[in-house]
Amino acid sequence: MNRKTIVAILCFFLVSLLAASAMASGHGHSTDHAKADEKGPAILLVTFGTSIPEAQTAFDNIDAQVKKVFPGVEVRWAYTSYIIRQKLAKEGKTWDSPEVALAKLMDDGYTKVAVQSLHMIPGFEFHDIYVNAKMFERMSGGFDKVFVSYPMLSSDAAMNKVVEILPGAMVPKERTPEDAVVLMGHGTHHTSDAIYSAMMYKFQNADPNIYVGTVEGHPTYDDVKAMLLEKGVKKAYLIPLMSVAGDHARNDLAGDEADSWKSMLTQAGIECVPVMKGLAESDALVDLWIENLQTAMKHLQ
Ligand code: CO
């Protein structure tokens, strides 16, 4: 045998050895899991995030409510927004991305995870979470089961519940039927933007003086403004259709800048009363996310 042949044979053995050890660790993972299974499924709550401390209290409310419904279950959080995470990191507050949070749960020995999207609609963020979380199920040594459950406005029944609950939960008691309620959703160029138009339709059917607009999608501000003027509305309550009253609520909706909805509607002769509350501050609305989470936990039993 010349030297080349010996090197080739050695290489062959080395590759076989690596392949064998990879297979062995693959088999080994079920025994690892037997131990970790005692921990039960963990919950990962995923939101866009907020850098506004007052808005964070709305997330604290969700946290408390989830822990009450699922006592003893490990509950962790992740922020999808890179910009928000970077901003908070500069203030010394560390928030994980969904991927990092899942990796940590995996390292801590959890084998099942319920991932609850705390978004309003199943848009880009939800689909990114879904795809990436499911990859943690496929990787070697990954989770046995990952269930990603839907955001708040994900079915006709859920939308009807929001239409039913929101006015009582978010609109100030002194509002009269002549006063309009303008809800500001985020909006997106994802297909699920259509949900906001569906919500406008449903709210209009329930109360013709409740309107839904969006910052970045449809219905637009102009759509809402035209409807308000046509109806001769004199006063409007402006409320975010978002989990928290964060940056969009403070600036795009109720800011003092000339291009906020408050400024533009005031300019159009409508008295504006902004309500700086996020939907996550209402226990009844948080329950809608929790119902989805309960479905997820059932799938993990
Ligand atoms: Co935005």
134 and 259 both lie in a single domain = no
Domain of residue 232, CATH code: 3.40.50.1400
Mean pLDDT value across residues 36-65:
87
238 and 119 both lie in a single domain = no
178 and 115 both lie in a single domain = no
From the CA of 254, how far away is ligand 1's center (Å)? 15
From the CA of 250, how far away is ligand 1's center (Å)? 12
Query: At residue 173, does pLDDT exceed 70?
Result: yes
231 and 192 both lie in a single domain = yes
146 and 293 both lie in a single domain = yes
Active site residues: 186
pLDDT confidence of 208, banded at 50, 70, 90?
very high
15 and 136 both lie in a single domain = yes
Whether 162 is covered by a domain: the verdict is no
From the CA of 90, how far away is ligand 1's center (Å)? 20
Which domain, by its residues, includes 146? Answer: 3-151+285-299
DSSP per position, 189-246: SSGGGHHHHHHHHHHHHH-TTEEEEESSSSS-HHHHHHHHHHHT--EEEEEE-SSS--
From the CA of 255, how far away is ligand 1's center (Å)? 15
Q: CB atoms < 10 A from the CB of 131, how many?
A: 10
* Total tally of structural domains belonging to the chain: 2
pLDDT confidence of 24, banded at 50, 70, 90?
very low
Whether 253 is covered by a domain: the verdict is yes
Higher pLDDT, 17 or 276: 276
Query: At residue 191, does pLDDT exceed 50?
Result: yes
16 and 146 both lie in a single domain = yes
48 and 80 both lie in a single domain = yes
Query: At residue 179, does pLDDT exceed 80?
Result: yes
Model confidence over 84-114: pLDDT tens digits? 999 999 999 999 999 999 999 999 999 999 9
Q: Report how far residue 112's alpha carbon sits from residue 142's, in angstroms, rounded to the nearest whole number.
A: 9
Tokens of 219: 């219905």
136 and 232 both lie in a single domain = no
Whether 59 is covered by a domain: the verdict is yes
Whether 261 is covered by a domain: the verdict is yes
Whether 156 is covered by a domain: the verdict is no
124 and 33 both lie in a single domain = yes
Note the pLDDT of residue 28: 39
Q: Report how far residue 294's alpha carbon sits from residue 289's, in angstroms, rounded to the nearest whole number.
A: 9
Note the pLDDT of residue 5: 57
Model confidence over 242-296: pLDDT tens digits? 999 999 999 999 999 999 999 999 999 999 999 999 999 999 999 999 999 999 9
From the CA of 1, how far away is ligand 1's center (Å)? 68
